């Protein structure tokens, strides 16, 4: 039997990693006008993931181009060293990976006390059991649907079932946290992701590398407007 789509507002978060850095203003304003709800920024350190992207300066650049919320995704070792820097840069929601946080409760609490919303992210091979104790404290759970490090990778199909299980965990505990999905998100899989329980769709390549940013974003929106 097909799952009945849930009625919750779906947020579309274009991922800046895939934008044209030489004309960020164009890409950010075009995506905002096309109906983006927030922007996603991938911070990669060349240690936790095999790629280096950008740091707080880029978050601050985007902060000056839009007033939409900014989702900063830390794919770095020692995130605790940089929480304040990302707050100062203009982050709204700060997401850390459970795989690098030895004292996850402390990190999440610190993010909140700095005035940001805390999110936790899980690599594809990380089991959901790590969420058991931390769920009541987070604003979002980010399910990686590719191995983190690069844009433009193929969506890992098993992520759909993982999202469904996070949704069950949240609903059974009466917790209101968001479920974000990150990696290989496009118009063709958006509806299935929302049906599984995701409500924040992060999409880089399928939006910013499309021939027409506005049409690409609208195509995702059309498929999740039930
Ligand atoms: C991957 C990043 C993603 C990336 C998604 O490590 O966390 O946010 O930008 O890119 P696409 O949508 O191209 O898979
Ligand atoms: Zn990301």
Q: Which atom of ligand 1 is nearest to the CA of 17?
A: 9
**Helix 187-196 / helix 159-173 crossing angle, nearest 10 deg:** 30
The mean pLDDT of 193-201, rounded to a whole number, is 98
Q: What is the mean pLDDT of the chain?
A: 97
Q: What is the pLDDT of residue 189?
A: 98
Ligand 1 contact via 149 beta carbon (within 6 Å): yes
The mean pLDDT of 168-193, rounded to a whole number, is 98
Nearest residue by C-alpha to atom 4 in ligand 1: 151
Ligand 1 pocket: which of 19, 20, 42, 140 to mutate (most atoms within 8 A of CB): 42
What amino acid positions are annotated as catalytic residues? Answer: 42, 182
Q: What is the pLDDT of residue 139?
A: 98
Pairing of strands 39-44, 117-122: unpaired
**Is residue 156 scored above 70 in pLDDT?**
yes
Question: Please, what sign has the CA dihedral across residues 210, 212, 218, 219?
Answer: negative
Under 8 Å CB-to-CB from 87, ≥6 apart: which residues? 94, 114, 115, 116
H or E segment and range at residue 97: strand 93-97
Task: Give me the residue spans of the domains in the chain.
Answer: 11-223
Exposure string of 26-43, with b = 16+ CB inside 10 Å and e = fewer, is ebbebbbebebbbbbbbb
What's the CA-to-centroid distance between 133 and ligand 2, angstroms? 23
Block residue for tokens 């079932």: 161
Ligand 1 contact via 204 beta carbon (within 6 Å): yes
CB-hemisphere CA count at 13 Å for 74? 29
pLDDT digits (tens, 9 = 90+) for 88-102: 999 999 999 999 999
Block residue for tokens 């095999």: 50
Nearest residue by C-alpha to atom 6 in ligand 1: 148
Neighbour-count burial of 212, counting CB atoms closer than 10 A to its CB (0-12 exposed, 13-18 middle, 19+ buried): exposed
Ligand 1 contact via 13 beta carbon (within 6 Å): no
What's the CA-to-centroid distance between 81 and ligand 2, angstroms? 19
CB atoms within 10 A of CB 101: 19
**CATH number, span 11-223:** 3.20.20.70
The mean pLDDT of 68-80, rounded to a whole number, is 99
How far is it, in rounded angstroms, from Cα 140 to Cα 131?
Answer: 11
Give percent above pLDDT 70 in the chain.
97
């Amino acid at each position: 039997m097909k799952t009945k789509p849930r009625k919750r507002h779906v947020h579309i978060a274009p991922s800046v990693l895939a934008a044209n850095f030489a004309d960020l203003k164009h890409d950010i304003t075009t995506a905002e006008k096309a109906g983006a709800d927030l922007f996603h920024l991938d911070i990669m350190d060349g240690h936790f993931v095999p790629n280096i992207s950008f740091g707080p300066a880029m978050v601050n650049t985007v902060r000056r181009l839009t007033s939409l919320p900014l989702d900063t995704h830390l794919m770095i070792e020692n995130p605790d060293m940089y929480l304040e820097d990302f707050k100062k840069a203009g982050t709204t929601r700060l997401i850390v990976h459970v795989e690098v946080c030895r004292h996850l409760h402390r990190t999440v609490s610190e993010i909140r006390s700095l005035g940001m919303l805390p999110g936790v992210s899980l690599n594809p091979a990380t089991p959901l059991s790590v969420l058991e104790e931390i769920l009541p404290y987070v604003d979002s759970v980010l399910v990686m649907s590719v191995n983190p490090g690069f844009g433009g990778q193929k969506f890992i199909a098993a992520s759909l079932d993982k999202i469904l299980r996070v949704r069950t965990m949240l609903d059974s505990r009466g917790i209101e946290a968001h479920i974000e999905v990150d990696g290989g998100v496009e118009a063709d899989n958006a509806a299935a992701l929302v049906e599984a329980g995701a409500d924040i769709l992060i999409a880089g390549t399928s939006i910013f590398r499309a021939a027409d940013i506005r049409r690409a974003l609208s195509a995702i929106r059309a498929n999740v407007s039930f």
